[in-house]
Amino acid sequence: MGTLGAPQLTGPALRPGQPRCLDCPIRLQAVCAQADEGELRELERIKRYRTYPAGQTIASSGDAPAFVGSVVDGIALISTLLPDGRRQTVGLLLPSDFVGRPGRSHIEYDIVAATPVTLCMFHKPEFERLLHRNPRIERRLLEMTLDELDAAREWMLLLGRKTARERVASLLLMVARRNAALSGALPYDGQTIPLRLTRQEIADYLGLTVETVSRQISALRREGVLALHPSQRIEVRSVSRLTEASGDAA
Amino acid sequence: MGTLGAPQLTGPALRPGQPRCLDCPIRLQAVCAQADEGELRELERIKRYRTYPAGQTIASSGDAPAFVGSVVDGIALISTLLPDGRRQTVGLLLPSDFVGRPGRSHIEYDIVAATPVTLCMFHKPEFERLLHRNPRIERRLLEMTLDELDAAREWMLLLGRKTARERVASLLLMVARRNAALSGALPYDGQTIPLRLTRQEIADYLGLTVETVSRQISALRREGVLALHPSQRIEVRSVSRLTEASGDAA
DNA sequence: CGTCGTCTTGATCGTCTTCAATGTATGTGG
DNA sequence: CCACATACATTGAAGACGATCAAGACGACG
């Protein structure tokens, strides 16, 4: 089910509607960031766009996906399960993040669209051949993997040592930071972040229960650190107090 | 302090005592695993051995190490701190693991020898040049980084969702597995693992306190799953019961 | 307007932490 | 060789934090 790149792609190659790489919103952050004109042409030739509605499984643990790709828009969750059903989300996939493992046939995690997701996908064997011919892209992939490793380790600190309050504050801060960074800014008081995740999804990422997440968000709201607006939008009223609550401050 | 590859190396190049790559115990697992004869000669030329006594800092957060390398013998811990002193270990470095980040100047973690550690080190700029010339080694490094990422995510599941008992059992199983794998075997009943870590070091890796670790190990001993022998050696009396206790079983 | 899913809030319970004391191993100087 | 110091490990008792169980509120949508 939901195999990355099963038969039903969004259409034939290079539909007129398919954006060109030079116009791509994630052009400067994604795996193709350092590609030169020739490499970009190669990528352009083998890429396909595909969209997934919120809730849809993009790939399941045990699958052997035929495609790899980049998140162009939306949020996907990488998660894993214990046999008795306890779930832990081990990574967020935000725009520009890479999906898939060149050199590996099977995946060990579930990847699920949390919001509508658009992927820019490459047929895996073709992409791997391209990697061999273009060390610059391979190096970019190593760099991105090292970033992911750092993110995973930061989250190990959160999961192993932070309190519930600190976890919630840390997540909001991380999303605020990444959102602000899209326009080259730092998080600021009054910034409003569209956190398009359910309480359950937040809980699974923070190693908590929905009830605890809800209580901690309520507490931060009562204290005036946050304000809650319709449709899951959260306003950060005080970045400094949120930072303090995250445990990362001095 | 403790900068990887500070002036005091163990001696001049290619001392007679320095093992040859072909005799190296980690030859088939390390970053040089797929190196051919020529690449091996290059590595041989730029490598230096260095040993660290137990407890010594190999590199500190914020350092810009001049060397990268492989663990030949011993155990080192990668850890990070919260400002108030809570510590979380985010990775174990066992023989064949790679230390350092090609392409990154600074490191974000503390790396400390938990036992006497021997590193096979390469001057970083030289190693990076070598990577550029030898895509096979670079690909091996990507592969090892992906393995590390998987290990980190497995640990996120442990830290986010497992009970104290499951965490302790999982750690012992992981070490037993890795130890057995050195001789190409699977863990077996009666296998004895020299877990040369203090209770504090175990606790920091599992996101627990020393007391809880001690209690859980005692419980597993009382139940006959483990037997404790002098000098921190732990005998696994029942792999299946330890697996069951780890939460990973069906 | 009613239904369903999600979110919030409350009350109770259990696990792990904290604080404290005791036990054990190793090494040192008298 | 033994008394003692030091570091690490174990065990116990009390307390705190988050989980669990349960009920109600809110919002989207037919």
Q: Per residue in B16-55, pLDDT tens?
A: 456 788 888 888 889 999 888 888 888 889 999 999 999 9
> In this predicted model, what pLDDT tens digit does every residue of B150-182 receive, in sequence order?
999 999 999 999 999 999 999 999 999 988 887
Per-residue pLDDT band for A241 (boundaries 50, 70, 90) equals very high
Q: According to the model, what pLDDT value does residue B13 have?
A: 42
Whether B231 sits with its Cβ under 7 A from any strand C atom: the answer reads yes
Q: Residue A14: is its pLDDT beyond 90?
A: no
Which of A139, A159, A162 lies closest to B156 in CB terms?
A: A159
What residues of chain B lie within 8 A of the CB of A150, using their CB? Answer: 108
Q: According to the model, what pLDDT value does residue B156 have?
A: 98
Q: What is the mean pLDDT of chain A?
A: 90
> In this predicted model, what pLDDT tens digit does every residue of A89-104 receive, in sequence order?
999 999 999 999 998 9
Residue A247 or A15, more confident: A247
Residue pointed to by tokens 């066992």: B94
Q: In sequence order, what are the residues at sequence separation of 6 or more whose Cβ sits closer than 8 angstroms to the Cβ of residue A120? A: A24, A30, A47, A48, A49, A69, A70, A72
- Span B113-123, average pLDDT: 95
Residue nearest to nucleotide C17 (CA to C1'): B209
B9–chain A Cβ distance below 8 A for any pair: no
Per-residue pLDDT band for A6 (boundaries 50, 70, 90) equals very low
For strand B192-194 and strand B233-236, is the pairing parallel, antiparallel, or unpaired?
antiparallel
What residues of chain B lie within 8 A of the CB of A152, using their CB? Answer: 149, 152-153, 156
- Span B92-112, average pLDDT: 93
Name the nucleotide with the smallest C1'–CA separation from A209.
D19
B132–chain A Cβ distance below 8 A for any pair: yes
- Span A199-217, average pLDDT: 98
Q: What is the mean pLDDT of chain B?
A: 90
For strand A110-113 and strand A57-59, is the pairing parallel, antiparallel, or unpaired?
antiparallel
Q: According to the model, what pLDDT value does residue A31 have?
A: 92
The helix (run of H) or strand (run of E) holding residue B250 is none
Closest CA relative to residue B58, chosen from B130, B15, B129, B121: B121
Q: According to the model, what pLDDT value does residue B7 have?
A: 38
Q: Give the Å distances, CA to CA, from B228 to A209, A244, B29, B220, B222.
A: 36, 43, 30, 10, 10
pTM of the full predicted structure?
A: 0.91
Instruction: Give the neighbor-by-neighbor strand order of the sheet with A110-113.
Output: A57-59, A110-113, A76-81, A87-93
Q: According to the model, what pLDDT value does residue A17 have?
A: 54
